[in-house]
Amino acid sequence: MSFSDAPNDVRLYILTGDTNPPSLFDQEFFASRNSNGQFNAVTALRSGFGVGLDVNNGIVAFNYGIPAAPAVRLSVTYQAGTGATLTWPGLSGHTYQVQYRDSLTTGNWANIGSPVSPVGGVGTYTDNTGLGTRFYRVVSQ
């Protein structure tokens, strides 16, 4: 909470789960712009609803949701007899769908396997079909 910012606002951040700083995903502004000389404020969050109180600026009520997951950095390793294993950082509360296609210039992306929930901040999927060249992507759901 910053008491010296103008305009006065409530900021919601999501923790990245790694060494990156928290990321701002929602910001709600109070209607007035009075100084908060008493340095008193409170925010309550529950089930997608939030209420912020800034002593000299009143109350702001808002809805929020789980922010969209950031683009993922996909790592692919191949081992004969096992197949291609895809690994990516994932956020708790999100599921990820692995998709593939056989060419980067033609065809549509197709889902492969079931959606994946990350474990310990990491999503993983192994494609053991052993079918030629494939291009992969992972999309957040």
What predicted TM-score, i.e. pTM, was given to this entire model? 0.52
Judged on CB neighbours under 10 Å (0-12, 13-18, 19+), 116 is buried
- Position 108 scores a pLDDT of 92
By C-alpha distance, which of 33, 37, 6, 11 is closest to 22?
A: 11
- Position 113 scores a pLDDT of 93
Measured distance CA(99)–CA(18) in Å, rounded:
25
H helix runs in the chain, sequence order: none
The highest-confidence range among 23-27, 55-59, 77-81, 110-114, by mean pLDDT, is: 110-114
* Structure confidence by residue, pLDDT tens digits, 123-133: 899 998 877 78
> What is the rounded average pLDDT of the residues 69-89?
82
Alpha carbon distance, N-terminus to C-terminus of the chain: 31
Q: Confirm if 140 and 94 have CB atoms less than 8 A apart.
A: yes
Measured distance CA(15)–CA(24) in Å, rounded:
9
pLDDT band at 51, cuts 50/70/90?
Answer: very high
> What is the rounded average pLDDT of the residues 83-96?
85
